[in-house]
Chains A and B, each alone.
Chain A
Amino acid sequence: MKWCFAGLLLLFVSCSNDEKSIKIKGSDTEVNLAVVVAESFHIHKPEISVSISGGGSGLGIASLLNGTADIANSSRRIKEEEMQLFQKKGIRIDSFVFAQDAIAFVISDELPIDSISIQHLSAILKGSYRNWKALTGIDKPINIYGRQSNSGTYDFVKEILGIEFTPYAKQMNGNAQILEAIKADHSGIGYVGSGYVTKDSGNGLKVLSIYSDNHPHAVSPLNREMIAAGKYYFQRPLFQYYKSSSFLKIKPFLDFEKTKEGQLIIQSSGYYPIL
């Protein structure tokens, strides 16, 4: 019994080397990319421990605010009200764009369309179109597989289209679950980060090209050149937010992302390097 208490005490005392561990949180879109980067980073700086958690972009920013993360990955810009929370707490933050992402709209390859207009997409996501008939001639209900409200992707799509999602949109835990669902559901439509569709997303899926009044030529999110030219409608920078005060601690990791090796990893994971 006595040594139990002693052991407990020892445990409390042995909390140290906080400086050597970096906690990265947030953005389901960026998490797998961050894992791959951290794996390579370990080879260069094995003394620094990097732990990564996913969730949504909101999770990352909230964790940064709550002090449980050192770097907040976010696939969207920080919101005004979030910024206010940081100011209220007197925390100064900086950001770093380490890659670009394009959001892909995915459907089953059994549906006979390859591209879709922004207007139709908005109508579907708002819930005005609830059947594929008007668009494809096939009489099937439209099932929307979206993300949860904390997701940066969710926010991004919502804001760029200027809509509110229909409450019938299913809120999936992550990009991967959306793909799984659409693979099984031949009348589904969903959106994921482009990193999820480039490699081994499996068969049965189709990535929609997007066109709008300004760009009548449909652009695929997998088209590297068009993205480099900034021509895809749903493309966005991927952010990493951090507290200004802890910059020195996380600098080695950010530096590694900027190296050629880092950018190569980003590219091979299906994202687009910073220009």
Chain B
Amino acid sequence: MENMKISVNNMNLYFGKKQILKDININFKTKKVTSLIGPSGCGKSTLLRSLNRMHDLTTDAIIEGVLKLDDKDIYDKQNSIIDIRKRVGMVFQKPNPLPKSIYENLAYALNIHKFPKEKIPALIESALKESYLWDEVKDELKKPAVKLSGGQQQRLCIARTVVLRPEVILMDEPCSALDPISTNKIEKLIMSLKNDYTIIIVTHNMQQAQRISDDVAFMYMGELVEFGTADQIFKNPQKELTKNYVNGHFG
């Protein structure tokens, strides 16, 4: 029996009257990389964003079903949204550094979560090292983060997430706005991060999914069509739909 980090049971999600996700059941394993793939609009980003309650501010979103982080109900009102998001970090499609310096970008989360002041510099250094960014920026930590290149910004966003030591990192097409070299660096980074974190990533890139994933979930029209190991999905898909998609026949 493998260790489950996040489990989703009988989940339905609506925006207003429109149903976006239909009866989703999926388990994300601890310290593995799970990829969510599928054509645009299939609901994979929506699913990802519901794992750390990013839909809370979308006023007409209605979520049914049970989503658990370990044995804790993510949507239980008793549980602080702050703690959920601290445990489940997120990296977005477009790098979105805060309008502050590189150092402050990382210090920000530590400060609001009241980490002891004296520990902050060390935490920042190790997060930057973990994200393979330290060597590039260690001499200019005071530089505004927006001055970094796109790839560096995205790695900074990953470092900003990592610095809080979350248990899960959600990534929403983190490489779609980047060039191949930066993409390559981020993929390497993901491979090394999975030793410590559970990673769930949404991607459009089949090769990338194949390269980095342990598990792959294929979604179509708001439904989870097939879920299995990367080998299974890419080499031996059970469903016709999956086969067509991974072979590039549509999407």
- A and B directly contacting (CB within 8 A): no
* Chain B residues with a Cβ under 8 A of chain A: none
